[in-house]
Structure 1
Amino acid sequence: MLESVKITRRQSEIRQALAGLVGKEKPTEDEVRNIEAMDLEFRQNETRYRAALICEDTERREAGAELETRSGKEWAELMAGFEMRQVAFALDEGRALSGKTAEIVTELRNAGGFRGIPVPWAALEQRAGETIASGTPAPTQTRPIIDRIFPDSAASRMGAQMISIDAGAVEWPVTTSAVSAGWADGELANVAGPTTYVTTDRPLTPDHNLGVQMRISRKTLKQAGDALEQAVRRDMAGAMGAAMDRAVFIGTGANGQPLGVITGAATYGITSTAVADEVTWAAFRAAVVRFMVANAAGSPDAVRALIRPEMWAYLDGLLIDGTAVSEWDRLLKSIPAGNIAMTTNGLAAPAGDPLAVSSLLTTAAGGVAPIFVGAWGAVDVIRDPFTDAQSGGLRITALATMDLTVARPAQLEVLTGLELAAAA
């Protein structure tokens, strides 16, 4: 019990005792001494009560801060205990799930919509102590979900944001009207007339399913142990990350794929500029100026660029006459290297005569991401009990429902026809 509460109760007892004593016309000497003692104690308790409140205020603030972050910490600790190998053994041997893994799966099953064992997206993160391709341990960190799942994806580096959706469709209302202000022309004149405030919804719909098939041999199940945990998580995340990257940028919109922002530039209302000339810093500079004129970027370093390695090689070797400065050096002076993402997966290979490539530029105007990637629920892991039955292996399919949309087309621009050769 708090000390202030104890003091408050004691003060109530003193007041009740004093009420009975002060009502007497001729109190005895003992009763007078009791009145004086309780009066002194009452005044001392008032001082103690104020001191207790000061001390407990600090404790309350600390407790409040702990309560505000406790749910996030508890969820992170719970997710850190999710074991992929339990899922594999449950599908292969029917072994019962236990501990934090069982708790998470139960919560996800209550949401419905899973044929197999649901695996949360956060469980695909690389755990502390796991060695990645570069040989560097990657400790668990609390980050936005897209960074946590696909830390090296081009979509993440281009500022795309992943949205976790429980069920249904999500729409993003975007202002499309041009509301303007106007001065009153005279003392009794009216200001500019009313302008309709118009919005357009950019929906994310659960129409696209991404699947990954994994084949695990019987020897691996019996021998791998903890290594199986890391291998399944790493391979599943890598395969989904590559497929997602490709779909975000050059998804065809057909055969079950979502429509990528480069392929569907006209559909999304994204500006597409045909350069049709040798690629130089001047082509990117013109696009940056268009961003700044449209108030989509405040400075060149707010722009992100997606390019192919062939473009980097060409720009780096294209020197300005009479200098040792390349076109790549000029580009880096305005667009930081951290804002440039190179990919062979998210952009089409050079084609044509002369060879030409495309590039995508994005900005995060007002803190709004240029691209939204929606992921529904969790990853649904289903077992195929027949295909590898003769060898005793385990074949599983991981299904994820995803979609993408562009909220504000003004935050993106596509440059096409960037030629990797000088004009003949």
Structure 2
Amino acid sequence: MLTSKKLELRRSEIRQSLAELANIETPSEDEVRKMGQLDSEYRAKESQFRAALVAEDEERKEAGAELETRSEAEWANMASQFEVRQVALALDEGRKLDGATAEMVQELRNAGGFQGIPVPLEALETRAGETIAGGVPDPMRTMPTIDRIFAGSSATQMGCRMINVGVGEIEYPVATGGAQPGWAGSETGDVAGPQAYTTVDRPMKPDNTLGVQMKITRKALKQAGAGLEQAVRRDMSAAIQQETDRAIFLGSGSSGEPLGIFPGASTYGITETAVDAAASYAAFRAAAVRFMTANTASGPSAVNLLLRPEVFDGMDDLISGLAISEWDRLIAKIGKVVMTTNGIAAPSGDPLESKALLTTTTNGVAPIFCGMWGAVDVIRDPFSDAKSGQLRLTALTTLDVTVARGVQLEILTGVQ
């Protein structure tokens, strides 16, 4: 019991005793002395009660701060115990979910409607230690599944901020006009007049849904066992990551795709500069200087550069008369150089020409925002493959892309 509660109960008992003594018309000396003792004790308990409230208030604040972070920690701990295998078996055989998996599915259902069984994004992360149990008699030992080859993510390396949205739409107001400094022209002159503080909204809407479909044969379900869960998780996660990464840069803005950086350069207000020459350190240095003069980058080390591997191939030859190449000069000065085959279209034309993207993070504001709504919705088609006993899964996730300030990005075209 709290100390304040104990003191409150004691004060109540003292008040009751004093009320009984106060009703006596001619109290004796012992009764008068007892009233004095109770009165002194009541005043002392009153001071102790106020002190206990102050102390417990600090404890409540500390406990509250712990509870604010405890929910995220508990959620991450539960996600680490989530079993995708249970979801597959529930969809295939109707098996009942249990443990942390059942608890997380129920929590996600309460937060939003899902047609199938909701799977949290954290559950698709690769986990260690989930292999086929040893010591089980088996005429053939099945080794862990060898994953397919997917392109690595380059969006996050270029400063893209991934945002998880619960429900509804989200927008970022960006200031476009505000305070302007000015000097008084004379002793009694006025300073510069007031300027309107204006903003423009950069919304993200849940209009683009990405789907990943996969079939799992009955043999795979029976042969792979628990090891299948990890392979399915890695495959679905990598497929979603690869297509999300491609859409952030190359999304057409039609046919269900979000509008990516390269096709949406004019919409987002991104400057496009034609190089129309062989890739060189000088061309990329000039773009970094434009960032610095626009007050978006503090130096070349704050600039990220996205290139095709073919550009690296053309820049890595030694400069005539020197022991370094254009590539050596580039990586020595530019903050981060990222190569991709997924985020930039393959070179074309004669001579072959590619594109490059430069980004920078300014005052903590990311150059690119990618919003993802809710969890991954896993749905099974119970009819198409019923005759063969196959399990067909569809994983759906909704996302959108936007750019807050176009001046934090620049596209270079005609990079030969």
TM-score range, shorter chain: 0.7 to 0.9
Structure 1 residue 105 displacement after superposition:
2.7
Match of 2:298 in 1: 298
Match of 1:109 in 2: 109
Q: Secondary structure at the match of 1:154?
A: coil
Contact 2:119 2:375 in 1 (8 A): yes
Is 1:217 aligned to 2:214, yes or no?
A: no
Is 1:389 aligned to 2:398, yes or no?
A: no
Contact 2:271 2:409 in 1 (8 A): yes
Structure 1 residue 417 displacement after superposition:
1.6
Alignment partners' CA distance in 2, 1:30 and 1:366: 77
- 1:80-91 equivalences in 2 (<5 Å): 80-91=80-91
- 1:351-370 equivalences in 2 (<5 Å): 351-370=348-367
Structure 1 residue 41 displacement after superposition:
6.6
- 1:10-409 equivalences in 2 (<5 Å): 10=10, 13=13, 59-60=59-60, 62-129=62-129, 153-177=153-177, 179-315=179-315, 317-336=316-335, 339-409=336-406
Structure 1 residue 241 displacement after superposition:
0.6
Structure 1 residue 265 displacement after superposition:
1.0
Q: 1:36 to 1:153 in 2, by over 3 A?
A: same
Over the matched positions of the two proteins, sequence identity in percent amounts to 60
Alignment partners' CA distance in 1, 2:76 and 2:367: 28
Return the letter of the residue paired with 1:351.
Answer: S
Alignment partners' CA distance in 2, 1:117 and 1:128: 24
Q: Secondary structure at the match of 1:305?
A: strand
Alignment partners' CA distance in 1, 2:413 and 2:308: 12
| TM-score of the pair, normalised by structure 1 | 0.81
Q: Which runs of 5+ in 2 are unaligned?
A: 132-143, 145-149
Structure 1 residue 62 displacement after superposition:
4.2
Return the letter of the residue paired with 2:209.
Answer: N
Alignment partners' CA distance in 2, 1:57 and 1:208: 48
Q: Report which stretch shifted further, 9-18 or 105-114.
A: 9-18
Alignment partners' CA distance in 2, 1:278 and 1:328: 12
Contact 2:151 2:341 in 1 (8 A): no
Structure 1 residue 272 displacement after superposition:
0.9
Structure 1 residue 124 displacement after superposition:
1.7
Structure 1 residue 391 displacement after superposition:
2.3
Q: Secondary structure at the match of 1:332?
A: helix
Alignment partners' CA distance in 2, 1:121 and 1:13: 57
Alignment partners' CA distance in 1, 2:6 and 2:178: 64
Q: Report which stretch shifted further, 77-86 or 245-254.
A: 77-86
| TM-score of the pair, normalised by structure 2 | 0.83
Q: Encode CA deviations 1:255-277: one digit per residue, 9 max, x unaligned.
A: 32222101221221101111111
Q: Report which stretch shifted further, 66-75 or 25-34.
A: 25-34
Structure 1 residue 12 displacement after superposition:
5.9
Structure 1 residue 38 displacement after superposition:
6.3
Contact 2:151 2:342 in 1 (8 A): no
Alignment partners' CA distance in 1, 2:155 and 2:116: 29
Alignment partners' CA distance in 2, 1:246 and 1:333: 28
Match of 2:147 in 1: none
Alignment partners' CA distance in 1, 2:10 and 2:257: 72
Q: Encode CA deviations 1:127-176: one digit per residue, 9 max, x unaligned.
A: 34469xxx9xxxxxxxxxxxxxx995211111112222333332322223
Q: Report which stretch shifted further, 211-220 or 89-98.
A: 89-98
Q: 1:323 to 1:221 in 2, by over 3 A?
A: same
Q: Secondary structure at the match of 1:76?
A: helix
Count, aligned residues: 399
Return the letter of the residue paired with 1:346.
Answer: G
Contact 2:120 2:376 in 1 (8 A): yes
Q: Secondary structure at the match of 2:197?
A: coil
Q: Encode CA deviations 1:72-104: one digit per residue, 9 max, x unaligned.
A: 122222323322112211221122333333333
Q: 1:205 to 1:57 in 2, by over 3 A?
A: closer
Q: Report which stretch shifted further, 95-104 or 2-11.
A: 2-11
Match of 1:414 in 2: 411
Alignment partners' CA distance in 2, 1:112 and 1:194: 46
Return the letter of the residue paired with 1:237.
Answer: S
Q: Encode CA deviations 1:159-206: one digit per residue, 9 max, x unaligned.
A: 112222333332322223365222232234333233333322222222
Q: Secondary structure at the match of 1:318?
A: coil
